[in-house]
Structure 1
């Protein structure tokens, strides 16, 4: 205990730096989303080097969509974080369903207590390695430099051991799921090929409700082509652990042998030096004279036996001390191995193998129902939207303070607070997503028809009739108004008046004509359903 106190008192700077670094890494890992969001906002709002400050000194031109590019960049950066909380109302049930189907319902991640325990184990391992490595690090360096270098190498070895054991535990958990898949597949009589049907995400978790259980797990798991367990990380970890455990034992053992040899050599040197030292010879002569006066001298045979007995006792003591030390070294190596076993268990018991299992867990761990999750998501969305609006306002203020600014730019900046808001950006982004989805669906529907038409024989009649697509016919009326090509698959009946106004402004369309087209589409839908 005293040695530990002395060590901490001597190298408290190193220990404090290590513990602080590990706590920082832990905080970043646990609160990564918040840290990433903080870094993004800091990058915009720094006083001199921030993007808002740099944007104030540049010339900006309005785009064809009526937005300044720098404004859209602000909205985009905030939208990257906004979309993480823009989930469907039944997202809680989807997350729970995803975890249940991948056989990871009820699992948990490592909490702060376990992470502190892991940091303590890393520190314990580093102390052991530092004691082993310090005498052999940079022989020409000073004692403090040797100790610091040994600590640095020991920390690297310990951190690598923790990472490998964590990955090994995750690999074992994943292998257990793969063994379940193969077991259920064999019970079902191997009715189908063992391959995933589709890539299932949280949003698509209900698409394989009718699939067998083993396929539900496989659809959410990354596996090799043969769906077999893999032990690559396990082999690497075992080799690493054995290398460190055996290496530490050998280093300690050889160091002990070297110390014993050095003690013997020092004893022989001391005896030789004493034989040539006049003061030592005078002291020895006085001792012999005193012995002759006070006692009877032993015969030569008895003196030789006595010297042999003394030497044997010294050898036995040295051998016993050496054996005890080596047993201690073995125990230390076993303790190191057991620490790694604990790390592997933590990785096995507190990890997720599903592609989006950890994400699903993060959205359900602190909530008991969908209502609680939705309220929290709405609060987060409102907070991000409010901050995005504040940053847009600060950007426009800085842009309006430029020394040279045209009247058109000034008017555009003044009207931007109402025409170009983060809410408008969200509406436009959602409409573009709907248009893209409609175009993709339309392409998927027309692809088989085009393939069939290309395979059919061309008639030999000289007159060729070109049919006008029905969609195109619906987009043109007698006044000559047409919808742009990228709005071809848009269902106008699903849009509200605000959406129509935004479309008319964005694509320079006649709002009255657009509402008329929406009404005609509604009438056609009613006629079809009648």
Structure 2
């Protein structure tokens, strides 16, 4: 594999380094995606000719839901709305309260570069002995196949070790939190309950304000320590370290044995030549053949030198393998420390951390500052779009059109729509929650448990598409509400017929005049 990479760089260095640069750029973009996306939106929005504003300015159609807005205006505003998390100060403080009570205040998720660094270190270490393992796991395979096999083995080993060490570190952190909470509980004389029940992020965090800190933590982190993953990780690391060192040692012994056998074969060849009576002297010189005793002594000297060299190689090789084993163990401990240093103990702390901007905002003032930054940029782009829309309407339009819409107005409209939607969902939930367990309440009685106004009933009726569904909904209302809804429908129908008749009469009169 390494030879193939070297050949690629030697044959086409420009292309090879271009691929490396692209991969490095992709890693940087993944790590800084929020900033890259924000930069790209503003850049592409004002790009000449083919940019977002240039294309949206060609659409002079009004919005079907609210004709005071152009479709282009709403489309641009939605693009910028993606960078704003709509939440009020209460919701933000609820997330902060959960993280604080879970003991995770000040912690963050594991940085992307830490993940990459840990994975790279483990992979490099795994590559060190994967070549040795490949020779035993794929016996008889070609050198190229063994290299690919070594790469695959290194990947498998690195993934397993990386996952186990990371989760072991996180398990130790979480168990340590529970251990300290239990110690505080014991020092407090066990006057209070250690836990009053699980408090998820969806519930009000003030529910256990009157409880001690250790109870609040146990409600969000848990009540029992666990070291199963840590024990399994230690066992796996020891097995891999011992096994890799053993296999490396066997390969070293095999290499040294081949060296000894090769030296002995050469010596036997030399002796056999002399035993055959071959005269190795050069005629005309005074170099006689050495006696057998001298030859034996000379061979013994060579054998001793070779054995000394083999012993040196053996001790040096085993020393190197032991050092590599310590390096391997240190890397696994480092992976566990990374898992202990970053991450959260609370069951929903990660979700809460993500909801407040992944650590970008420490206070609600930071949220407002970010909101104003996005809103100012969006308003500037919206004004540029509106100017282009007016210019295009002056060139090809047929009606006088003006717009004074702002991004803040769009956000206010969005909040109102979401508030109405949440209100409808809450009313539906309240109606469903009034049903006793295992008892089916008729629709008419269900409607009584949550009184509706005529306007709300008509709004719900308009949301239904099928006539049978509308009929069933009206029948599910109380008798008094049914009467009011029918009267309202009759009145609306009469007004519609009157308006239609007036419009028809006006059309007839215009036809006669024109």
Q: TM-score, normalised by structure 1?
A: 0.59
Quick check: 2:375–2:407 contact (8 Å CA) kept in 1? no
What is the aligned partner in structure 1 of residue 335 from structure 2?
A: 343
What is the aligned partner in structure 1 of residue 444 from structure 2?
A: none
Quick check: 1:274–1:281 contact (8 Å CA) kept in 2? no
**Matched residues, number:** 439
Query: 2: CA distance between counterparts of 1:483 and 1:235?
Result: 63
Shift in alpha-carbon separation, 1:107–1:423, aligned structure 2, 3 A: closer
Over aligned residue pairs, what C-alpha RMSD do you find? Answer: 5.9
- 1:210 deviates by 2.1
- 1:345 deviates by 0.8
What is the aligned partner in structure 2 of residue 522 from structure 1?
A: none
Spell out, residue by residue over 1:9-53, the C-alpha distance to the aligned partner (whole angstroms, 9 max, x if none): 989978997798467536523x34334556777898999999889
Query: 2: CA distance between counterparts of 1:486 and 1:434?
Result: 20
Quick check: 1:164–1:233 contact (8 Å CA) kept in 2? yes
What is the aligned partner in structure 1 of residue 100 from structure 2?
A: 100
Query: 2: CA distance between counterparts of 1:166 and 1:16?
Result: 33
**Match for 1:241 among 237, 240, 254?**
237
Quick check: 1:200–1:219 contact (8 Å CA) kept in 2? no
What is the aligned partner in structure 2 of residue 34 from structure 1?
A: 35
Spell out, residue by residue over 1:331-372, the C-alpha distance to the aligned partner (whole angstroms, 9 max, x if none): 20121111110121122023323323586497696788765x
Query: 1: CA distance between counterparts of 2:382 and 2:21?
Result: 40
Is the aligned partner of 1:200 residue 2:193? Answer: no
Query: 2: CA distance between counterparts of 1:126 and 1:71?
Result: 55
**Match for 1:228 among 219, 224, 229?**
224
Shift in alpha-carbon separation, 1:382–1:216, aligned structure 2, 3 A: same
Shift in alpha-carbon separation, 1:75–1:147, aligned structure 2, 3 A: same
Matches within 5 A, 1:395-410: none
What is the aligned partner in structure 2 of residue 81 from structure 1?
A: 83
Spell out, residue by residue over 1:498-519, the C-alpha distance to the aligned partner (whole angstroms, 9 max, x if none): xxxxxxxxxxxxxxxxxxxxxx
Q: Which 5+ residue runs of structure 1 have no aligned equivalent? A: 1-5, 457-465, 477-481, 488-530
- 1:152 deviates by 7.7
What is the aligned partner in structure 1 of residue 471 from structure 2?
A: none
Three-state SS of the structure 1 residue aligned to 2:260 is helix
Matches within 5 A, 1:98-497: 98-107=98-107, 118=118, 121=121, 125=125, 128-129=128-129, 132=132, 140=142, 154=154, 157-158=157-158, 161-181=161-181, 189=190, 194=195, 196-200=197-201, 204-221=204-221, 227-231=223-227, 233-234=229-230, 237-238=233-234, 240-242=236-238, 244-271=240-267, 284-285=280-281, 300=293, 307=299, 311=303, 314-354=306-346, 355-356=348-349, 360=353, 371=365, 373=366, 376-383=369-376, 385-386=378-379, 389=382, 414-415=401-402, 417-418=403-404, 422-440=407-425, 442=427, 472=453, 484=459
Shift in alpha-carbon separation, 1:307–1:155, aligned structure 2, 3 A: same
Spell out, residue by residue over 1:301-330, the C-alpha distance to the aligned partner (whole angstroms, 9 max, x if none): x87577557535533542442233123212
Query: 1: CA distance between counterparts of 2:324 and 2:120?
Result: 17
Quick check: 1:82–1:384 contact (8 Å CA) kept in 2? no
- 1:95 deviates by 5.9
Three-state SS of the structure 1 residue aligned to 2:404 is helix
Mean alpha-carbon deviation: is it higher for 374-383 or for 109-118?
109-118
Q: TM-score, normalised by structure 2?
A: 0.61
Shift in alpha-carbon separation, 1:323–1:305, aligned structure 2, 3 A: same
What is the aligned partner in structure 1 of residue 3 from structure 2?
A: none
Query: 2: CA distance between counterparts of 1:16 and 1:244?
Result: 37
Spell out, residue by residue over 1:451-504, the C-alpha distance to the aligned partner (whole angstroms, 9 max, x if none): 7xx999xxxxxxxxx99997637x69xxxxx984599xxxxxxxxxxxxxxxxx
Spell out, residue by residue over 1:378-434, the C-alpha distance to the aligned partner (whole angstroms, 9 max, x if none): 4333245337736965996999899xx9x7xx759x55x435x54343222211233
Quick check: 1:75–1:425 contact (8 Å CA) kept in 2? yes
Shift in alpha-carbon separation, 1:61–1:95, aligned structure 2, 3 A: closer
Query: 1: CA distance between counterparts of 2:460 and 2:155?
Result: 61
Spell out, residue by residue over 1:229-258, the C-alpha distance to the aligned partner (whole angstroms, 9 max, x if none): 445644564455345423432442232223
Shift in alpha-carbon separation, 1:233–1:68, aligned structure 2, 3 A: farther
Shift in alpha-carbon separation, 1:219–1:76, aligned structure 2, 3 A: farther
Mean alpha-carbon deviation: is it higher for 170-179 or for 19-28?
19-28
Query: 1: CA distance between counterparts of 2:232 and 2:254?
Result: 32
